[in-house]
Structure 1
Amino acid sequence: MIKACLFDLDGVIVDTAKYHYIAWKELASEMGFEFTLEHNERLKGVSRMASLDILLEIGGVTKSTEEKEELADRKNEHYRSFILQMKPDEILPGAKEFLTECKKNGIATALGSASKNAMTILERLELTKYFDAIIDGTNTTKAKPDPEVFLKGADALNVPPSTCVVFEDAEAGVEAAISAGMKCVGIGSPSILSKANMVVSGLNEIKLQDIIKLQ
């Protein structure tokens, strides 16, 4: 029996990709080179420090480890300045409705995100109350596809992993869910998320009764 739903944040609940791109673009501009949308494709699903290495490679810039830390912090400051202006109307279609449906039917909910800004984003979107547990980059050490974030979510909800369904938009996230022994609903392209039990374009295309069928 499904007892809990675990959600990734970016691409599932909200789309902050545009803010990441603008923040990286600003950082590149400060260093004297251009960062394009085409370049940005290389950063999808990549950690902040790995993304910075790609950015520096694109610009032909070499920095020390200490300088890289400072640049990563500066990028995050740019990003935070954007997300602090976010409003509830930026919630992706169907997300709030699906979370509400979970609550009404006694299904526990948790966020499972690598973002260290997850709490700030949820507060800006006024969604904090919809989650029984929030596991983010401030209390995890291993990146997806490692299952740590989802296993911690199940533990926080006090439910067995086998009773959880994960909602993910990235291939690494789907693999993390499978490694955790959980069912997974992919949000996005079936060709990229083929390992998921089910793939839909958004939470507006799915009902809780569809999840029960995954058992």
Structure 2
Amino acid sequence: MTIQACLFDLDGVIVDTAKYHYIAWKELANELGFDFTETDNERLKGVSRMASLDILLEIGGLTFDDEKKQQLATRKNDRYVEYITRMQADEVLPGAKDFLTELRAAGIQTALGSASKNAPTILERVGLTPYFDAIIDGNSTSKAKPDPEVFLKGAEALGVKPANCVVFEDAEAGVEAALAGGMKCVGIGSPLVLAKANLVVDGLHQMNVALLRKSFSQTT
């Protein structure tokens, strides 16, 4: 394949905002009268906001009507947004900015493919907006990963065929979305969790254009 574009998930690949989700959920749980641990939080990974709230309420043994649940979900999200609007450039994960810079120098386009509706805010706060040719977020998609919609829209925005794209993902559902879209995928994290990815590394600090081309130039 000829690599013409790289598409990136945001959380866990470019930045780590998971800690802010956890803090916001924990504060909500404490307000409702129960604790929410990091172990509990593992159940929320890759889960939508409302489904996450249902899990949280299950843990607390609480039941509310839909209107109240919407209020609680909004309260959690407002608090999360407060945290991310204070993010700084030093919260970019190791190697991310260097790799993005190298890709652009090599003429390889870049796009962000994230379910987060707050992705543009986060990129702006950490100073990475200029490093992406296209940003596809939760405001422009309707289907969650493992549906490939977000990555297919990214490829379309760049004018690149899916077969010429490599996706960088840290979640199993994201890897499945990339493959379902006809793209290659680099997993960021555990080889056990991301076994379906074509290549798995610890983080973008281990990536460079030479490795990218070596890994995928002979694949079909």
TM over 0.5: yes
The answer for unaligned runs of 5 or more in structure 1 is none
Deviation readout 1:33-68 (Å, 9 max, x if unpaired): 111111111111111111110001000111111111
Task: Give 1:59's aligned amino acid.
Answer: G
Once the two structures are superposed, the pairs formed by residues 149-168 of structure 1 within 5 Å of their partners are 149-168=150-169
CA distance in 1, matches of 2:181, 2:64: 37
Shift of 1:181: 0.3
- Give distance in 2, aligned partners of 1:141 and 1:18: 25
Tell whether 2:76 aligns with 1:75.
yes
TM-score by length of 2: 0.96
- Displacement, 1:93? 0.2
Give the match's secondary structure for 1:21. Answer: helix
| Deviation per residue, 1:117-136 (Å, 9 max, x gap) | 10110000000000000000
Letter in 1 for 2:105: K
Deviation of 1:210 (Å)? 1.4
Question: Could you say which residue in structure 2 is the equivalent of 1:9?
Answer: 10
2:128 partner letter: L
**Alignment of 1:190 onto 2:182:** no
For residues 160-191 of structure 1, give each alpha carbon's deviation from its aligned partner in whole angstroms, at most 9, with x where no partner exists: 00000000000000000000000000000000
**What whole-Å deviation, never above 9, does each CA across 1:60-112 have from its counterpart, x for those lacking one?**
11111111111111100110111111100000000000000011011010000
Q: CA deviation at 1:18?
A: 0.7
Q: Within 5 Å, which residues of 2 pair with 1:166-185?
A: 166-185=167-186
Shift of 1:146: 0.2
Task: Give distance in 2, aligned partners of 1:183 and 1:71.
Answer: 38
Match of 2:100 in 1: 99
Say yes or no: does 1:140 pair with 2:141: yes
- What secondary structure does 2:200 align onto? strand
Alignment of 1:7-156 (within 5 A): 7-156=8-157
Work out the number of aligned pairs and report it. 215
- 1:68 and 1:142 map into 2 onto residues whose CA distance is 22
Unaligned regions of 5+ residues in structure 2, if any?
none
Displacement of 1:11 in angstroms is 0.2
What amino acid does structure 1 have at the position aligned with 2:50?
A: M
Q: RMSD between aligned alpha carbons?
A: 0.7
TM value normalised by structure 1:
0.99
Aligned residue number for residue 210 of structure 2: 209
